[in-house]
Amino acid sequence: MAVQRKRKSKMSRKAKVRKLNGENKVENEEEQVTNELTDMPTVSKKRWTNKQRVLIFTSRGITYKGRHLVKDLRNLMPHTKTDVKMDRKSDLLMVNEIAEIKNCNKCVFLVGKKKRDVYMWVSNVPHGPSALFHMEYLNMMDELKFTGNCLTSSRPILSFDENFDTTPHMQLLKELFIQVFGTPNFHPKSQPFVDHVFNFSQRDGKIWFRNYQIVEENGDLVEIGPRFTMTLARILSGSFGGPVLYINPDYKSPNLIRHLQGKKGSTKYVDKQAAITRRRMEKTDKTFATDETDLLFTTSTETKT
């Protein structure tokens, strides 16, 4: 009985040694696999060649619609970064330094004036060009209540009107919009899906922005939002500075438009008083003698009255 017990103990020790050796082999194999995975370059590092990073932020005094527009654009553009609000009195050239600190080569800067007007700078940092737009008819996703929907961080298709190929300054804006609003392929924060369209169209001297969902069944478009219009003011050769490349001759500042509207309303009283005086001058006080034959065919009732 004692001999049998010793054999069992010896067999149990051998089994333990085999188990330990097997576990060590498994651990060594796992370490080799992990080392190989860490040494192998990732797919995004290989294929992500168009490294566009866009800085989107605002100045102080921006309206609430401008703040919501920044939020919507950041949700639709995964290759963006943001920063705190900048003081309006600071120089615009400081935006280039902020973009360099954030490691961004494109910038969208919203400026608010008089708590009602919103301007947007779109710039290629740090060498330019840069364009200034006046934003109008801002409508956000939350207030539109459209039925369209798209995946977060998905890549959009950029659609441009044929008017963007007619003039040199529109061709320049088209290339600038492609580099700013287009999500780079194989971006680490983007998803490999294309399910919505950014549409840029030029009508009535303005650039209209729309965002549509691509329906899988029949390819129809359903609007998602946001929507806004941009009126080009000028294009500069540098980033937030430099010589002027183009000035829109049809652009009128909102201050001038409000001044003309107020002036038009103030002239109503002046025109009314001038019409009254004109009627008084045309009215005469002379009376003319009546002809006796005019009363020849009058009846008795008419004479009594």
- What is the CA angle 243-244-245, rounded to 5? 115
pLDDT band at 157 (very low <50, low <70, confident <90, very high): very high
Please give the pLDDT value at position 31.
59
Q: 112 in helix, strand or coil?
A: strand
**Token reading at 63:** 């309206």
**Once rounded to an integer, what is the mean pLDDT over residues 150-160?**
91
Q: Which of 11-15, 49-53, 65-69, 212-216 has the lowest mean pLDDT?
A: 11-15
Nearest to 224 by CA among 72, 78, 118, 74: 72
Mean local confidence (pLDDT), 96-125: 93
Q: Do residues 92 and 240 lie in contact, with contact meaning Cβ atoms separated by under 8 Å?
A: yes
Residue 21 pLDDT level (bands cut at 50, 70, 90): low
User: Rounded mean pLDDT of 173-193?
Assistant: 92
For the chain, give every domain's residue range. 54-256
pLDDT band at 1 (very low <50, low <70, confident <90, very high): very low
Confidence class for position 129, pLDDT limits 50, 70, 90: very high
Q: What is the mean pLDDT of the chain?
A: 83
Query: What values do phi and psi take at 216, rounded to 5?
Result: -70, -35
What would the pLDDT profile of 35-50 be if each residue is shown by its tens digit? Answer: 544 444 444 445 888 8
Helix runs in 145-287, H state only: 168-181, 254-282
CB burial of 244-271 (b: ≥16 within 10 Å; e: otherwise) equals ebbebeeeeebeeeeeeeeeeeeeeeee
Fold classified for 54-256: Rossmann fold (3.40.50)
User: What integer is the mean pLDDT of 74-91?
Assistant: 90
What local confidence, expressed as pLDDT, does residue 38 receive? Answer: 47
Q: Kindly tell me if the per-residue pLDDT of 301 is higher than 80.
A: no
Bridge partner residues of 136 (DSSP): 229
Are the CB atoms for 131 and 232 separated by under 8 Å? yes
CB 164 within 8 A of CB 144: no
Residue 97: pLDDT above 50?
yes
Q: Work out whether strand 191-203 and strand 244-247 pair parallel, antiparallel, or are unpaired.
A: unpaired
How many whole angstroms separate alpha carbon 235 and alpha carbon 241?
10
